Amino acid sequence: MLNAMLGLFSQDLAVDLGTSNTRVYLRGTGVVCDEPTVVSVQTDRDGRRRVTAIGSEALPMLGRTPEDIHAIQPIRAGRILDFEVAEAFLLHLVRRAHGRNGWMRPRMVVAVPHHASDMEARAVRDSCESAGAREVHLVPRPIAAAVGASLPVQEPDGTLIVDVGGGSTEISLLALSGVVLSRVVPGGGEGMDAAIIQWLQRERRLLVGRPSAERLKIALGTASHPDPSATSVVKGRCLERGIPRSETVSAADIASALAPHVEAIAVGIRNAISEAPPELGSDVVDQGVVLTGGGSLLRDLDLGLRDLTGLPVIRAEDPEQAVAHGVGGILEDTLLQHAVALAS
């Protein structure tokens, strides 16, 4: 009875638990939180941990914290790495989403990678329950991405969706609301940042932090023809002399650092097509590949992948929000919920 009453008033949530960013969609409203998935934690002498900042307040602490404080990213490619911290993070977002109605226990629809093991899915479910969910429904992340990109997931035609996230790139062939096959290319956008860090160490003997590498990627990065006049100055530590130093890098430099990542995604797409049932593979050849995820905002990634695969490639509108809009759409639409549940 009490549960039924709470059900009546509760404000259901859909969650895209990302490596870099987590988005929360409130039923009837839309995306109400979009926060970096970062928590800073202080550990006292007895090993007890205390949360000191969450989300955008904790983000600047990545790589800059004193010894007893750690900025933690509790999720990687849909998997929970630190249960306690993930739970604190989710609890904070649920409270934020509900504002003054914080006493209500929501139903939650959460996107998980297609490859999540039973144990990994269990960990997501447990974290949501500990954060106050009274009921948790897990849906495959590629289906959510496709719903968010307004693709006809319930049709028998094959759809190839490539979600370039922070932690990985998930390449999935979908049909009839189900995942026919899925391949993961490790790295994602954060792997691209790491490639820029390695490139600067190797080619310029300069050590830079992750935020600087990400800034270079966004300012100069491209998957196709780099602008010959685009350059940027980056500060770091000279690996030879140990002192601060600046370097000018060009768009061509960053493109060469990122090229192996773009090629790995293209190989993943080609492999997915070659392993697909022939009918579905030919649907993709006709209709093309759709890119979602923040990493797909890399300049000309659509053009670069088209050149490397020979397939039509398009970037979804608002690709960073696709999974959140998709889980939200599934939360709002009971019929779609049944179709996704039956197919998974």
Ligand X SMILES: Nc1ncnc2c1ncn2[C@@H]1O[C@H](COP(=O)(O)OP(=O)(O)OP(=O)(O)O)[C@@H](O)[C@H]1O
Residues near Mg ion (CB under 5 A) are 18, 165
Figure out which of the listed residues 293, 304, 328, 329 binds ligand X, where binding follows CB under 6 A.
Answer: 293
Neighbouring CB atoms inside 10 A of 131's CB total 23
Tell me the backbone φ, ψ of residue 209, rounded to 5 degrees: -85, 170
Residue 217 binds ligand X (CB under 6 A) = yes
CA distance 323 to 247: 37
For residues 218 and 285, which CB has a smaller minimum distance to ligand X in the complex? 218
CA distance 188 to 190: 6
Tokens (6 digits) for 275: 């392993």
| Least distance in angstroms from the C-beta of 49 to ligand X | 23
| Least distance in angstroms from the C-beta of 26 to ligand X | 19
Tell me the backbone φ, ψ of residue 36, rounded to 5 degrees: -60, 140
Residue 188 binds ligand X (CB under 6 A) = yes
Residue 142 binds ligand X (CB under 6 A) = no
CA distance 79 to 82: 9
| Least distance in angstroms from the C-beta of 258 to ligand X | 9
Listed in sequence order, the residues at least 6 apart from 326 whose beta carbon sits closer than 8 Å to its beta carbon are 111, 143, 144, 145, 146, 147, 148, 149
- Running DSSP on this structure, what letter comes out for residue 299? B
Figure out which of the listed residues 74, 132, 295, 328 binds ligand X, where binding follows CB under 6 A.
Answer: 295
The residue nearest Mg ion at its CB is 165
Residue 55 binds ligand X (CB under 6 A) = no
- Determine contact, residues 210/289, Cβ cutoff 8 Å: no
| Least distance in angstroms from the C-beta of 293 to Mg ion | 5
CA distance 287 to 270: 15
Q: Which of 44, 63, 6, 48 is nearest to 212 (CA)?
A: 63
- Mark 60-89 with x for binding to ligand X (rule: CB under 6 A) and - for no binding: -----------------xx-----------
- Is 97 in a helix, a strand, or coil? helix
| Least distance in angstroms from the C-beta of 148 to ligand X | 11
For residues 158 and 295, which CB has a smaller minimum distance to ligand X in the complex? 295
Q: Pinpoint the alpha helices (H) of 155-293.
A: 188-204, 210-220, 251-275, 278-287
Residue 104 binds which one of Mg ion, ligand X, none, with CB within 5 to 8 A depending on kind? Answer: none
For residues 300 and 320, which CB has a smaller minimum distance to Mg ion in the complex? 320
- Determine contact, residues 175/155, Cβ cutoff 8 Å: yes
Residue 18 binds ligand X (CB under 6 A) = yes
Residue 297 binds ligand X (CB under 6 A) = yes
Q: Which of 80, 135, 72 is nearest to 104 (CA)?
A: 135
Residue 40 binds ligand X (CB under 6 A) = no
| Least distance in angstroms from the C-beta of 165 to Mg ion | 4
Q: Which of 208, 188, 179 is nearest to 37 (CA)?
A: 188
117: left (phi over 0), alpha (psi -120 to 50) or beta: beta
For residues 162 and 249, which CB has a smaller minimum distance to Mg ion in the complex? 162
Euclidean distance between the first and final Cα of the chain, in Å? 31
Q: Name the segment binding ligand X (CB under 6 A); options: 41-49, 186-194, 222-230, 245-253.
A: 186-194
Residue 214 binds ligand X (CB under 6 A) = yes
# residues contacting ligand X (CB under 6 A): 23
Tell me the backbone φ, ψ of residue 315, rounded to 5 degrees: -95, 135
Residue 190 binds which one of Mg ion, ligand X, none, with CB within 5 to 8 A depending on kind? Answer: ligand X
For residues 280 and 331, which CB has a smaller minimum distance to ligand X in the complex? 331
| Least distance in angstroms from the C-beta of 23 to Mg ion | 9
| Least distance in angstroms from the C-beta of 23 to ligand X | 8
Residue 77 binds which one of ligand X, Mg ion, none, with CB within 5 to 8 A depending on kind? Answer: ligand X
Footprint of ligand X (CB under 6 A): 18-21, 77-78, 165-168, 188-190, 214, 217-218, 221, 293-295, 297-298, 320
